[in-house]
Chain A
Amino acid sequence: MSHDMFDDPRSHEADDLSLQAELLERRGEHADARELYRRAAVLEEALARETPTASPRVRGVLAISAVSLWSAAGALPRAIGLADEFIGEPTLPTSERESLAKLAQDLRARAAQEHHHALLAELMDTWLRREPSGPDFDPDKLERVRIEAA
């Protein structure tokens, strides 16, 4: 009989870590929560990779869970990379590959949005560091950036 991945101690540990991370998030402790999500993601990804292709539904659901955990940890490139890797596995059920494709699409949109916000924050920071009375100071431009960032 093949190894049951749901009985693997790493599976239980990943579930415990993600539950603890959720509780930390509820308390607003986001940095600590992300660290626990990261540790859970490492375990879940290893389980997904080690699940035999003879158990395609388990392999698929663990891959989806690992991608979601990397996303919750804030590691979007890692999450997208893992999703793309498993989408390319023809042995996974179509339903799992479709779910991964949707996840990857959403994560790419989120990554683009975060990149955009980071650029806006940098621009605002640059403006705020300038002398309000200096020759380059343009309050209207700053206001446009502020509105877009909001």
Chain B
Amino acid sequence: MLVWDAPNAVQQGSHANELEVVRDGACAVTVAAVYAAAGYIVRKRPLHGSGADYLMTRIGDDANDFVRLEVSGTARGDALELRARLAQKRVQLREGRDPGPGVAVVVAFKDATVRMEDA
């Protein structure tokens, strides 16, 4: 279970861009979810072009065995949109040039649901 404080008026005002809020929130939830569900620790946030939002390993794994992580979030999406986004992220990971393993995660805030899949 994830618990956080409700934002105050100032915090709400300074984070009023829904696209950014959903993206940032999805990343925060995902970092916790991949650890809780699969023991992954996020190790690196490479800039665009590397084919992943984050790189992660399991505890004790060599850094060179990193797994790529793609994240997506939706504020109001239903189960159908969640599935579509997951498929889109899976395709993104598979189309990447790195044949190494990847994980796609989608966070749906309306239904408080997180789905993840190996790609």
Contacts and interface: CB of A to CB of B under 8 A. Distances in A.
A4 B63 contact: yes
6 contacts: A6-B57, A56-B64, A57-B64, A69-B47, A95-B100, A96-B98
A99 B99 contact: no
Contacts of A94: 97
Interface string B51-62: 100010100001
* Interface hub of A5, A55, A61 (most chain B Cβ within 10 A): A61
Interface stretch (A11-19, A119-127, A129-137): A11-19
Task: For chain A, give the interface size range.
Answer: 20 to 34
* Interface hub of A19, A94, A99, A103 (most chain B Cβ within 10 A): A99
B64 A58 contact: yes
B97 A55 contact: no
Task: For chain B, give the interface size range.
Answer: 20 to 34
Nearest to A4: B63
A69 B50 CA distance: 11
A51 B33 CA distance: 29
Q: Is the interface of B mostly helix, strand, loop or mixed?
A: loop
B48 A68 contact: yes
B76 interface: no
Nearest to A21: B47
Contacts of B45: 15, 18-19
A64 interface: yes
A61 B50 contact: yes
A26 interface: yes
Contacts of B57: 6
Given A26-B17, A65-B46, 8 more contacts: A6-B43, A57-B64, A57-B98, A58-B66, A61-B44, A61-B46, A61-B55, A64-B49
